[in-house]
Amino acid sequence: MHPHIPARQIMDRIVLGGSDGAIECVAMTAALNGAGVGFGTILIAGFAFAMAGGISMFFSTYLSRRSELDSLKIDIAREKLEIETEPEEEKAELQGLLLAEGYNEGEVDVILGRLVKNKELWLREQLRHELRVHTEDLESDPLVRPLSAGAAFFLMALIALAPYGLVEAQVVGLSLSVGLALTALFALSSRVFVPKHFNLVAGLESALVGAVAAGALYAMGLVISTL
C-alpha cells in the first residue's frame, strides 16, 4: 500500500486551488479598486467570483479525476489481460525494468518467482514499474480532491477579499488585500506548514506572480477609470 500518495495528491489540489483563488481574486479586486469601484460592490462581486471560482474548480477537478480513474481502469484491465495471455512477455518486460532500476539478476529471479505465484501482486507491480500507476488510487474517494481544490479556491479568495469589508480607505484596503493574498500564496506554494517539504523559491515565485497580476490589473483599473 502507498498511503502517502493520496495525501500528497490532496495537498497538490489544495495548493493548486488555493493559489488560483488568491491570485485571481486579488487581481480582480485590485482592478475594481483601481477603477474606483465602491467597496460594497467589490465585496459583492468578489464573493460571487469566489463562489463561482470554487464551484468551477470543483467540477473541473472532478472531471479530470474521473478521466484519470477511467484511464487507470483501462490500464489495469489491459495489463491484467496481458498477464493472462502473454505471461512470458510480461515477465520479460518486468525483468528488464527491475534490472534497469538496479536489481541484480539473482534478486530479479527471486522477485519474479514470488510474483508469478500471485497474479494480483504481479499486476500491481507490473503497473507500478511499467506504467508508474498504483491500483490503490482506485480506492480513493473521487470527491475528496475536487472538494479540497474547490474549498481552497473559495477560502483563499475570501482572504484576498476580506479587507474590503474591514476598512474604508482605498489604499489601505488594496494594501491589506495584496499583503494577505501574497502571504497566503507564499505559505501554500512553499509548503511552509510541511517543514520537510518547505520550498522557499516556489513560495517566492508564487508570491511574485500574484504581485505582478495585482499590479497589472490595478493599473488597468486606473486606466479604465480615466476613460
pTM for the model stands at: 0.76
Measured torsion, CA atoms of residues 78, 81, 85, 87, in degrees rounded to the nearest 10: 80
Report, as an integer, the average pLDDT of 103-107.
85
Q: How many CA atoms lie within 13 A of 67 on its CB side?
A: 6
pLDDT of residue 3: 44
Choice among 59-63, 139-143, 216-220, 222-226 with the minimum mean pLDDT: 139-143
Residues 120-127 have a mean pLDDT of 82
Least confident of 8-12, 24-28, 33-37, 43-47: 8-12
pLDDT surpassing 60 at residue 4: no
In this structure, which amino acid lies at residue 73? K
**Cα angle: 212, vertex 8, 203; to 5 degrees:** 25
Question: What does the pLDDT read at residue 65?
Answer: 82
Three-point CA angle 173, 55, 73, nearest 5°: 140
* Cα Dmax for the chain: 77
Name the least confident of 151-160, 174-183, 195-204: 195-204
Q: Mean pLDDT score of the chain, rounded to an integer?
A: 85
**Across residues 177-185, what is the average pLDDT?**
92
Q: Identify the band that residue 204 occupies on the pLDDT scale cut at 50, 70 and 90.
A: very high
Assess whether pLDDT exceeds 90 at residue 47.
yes
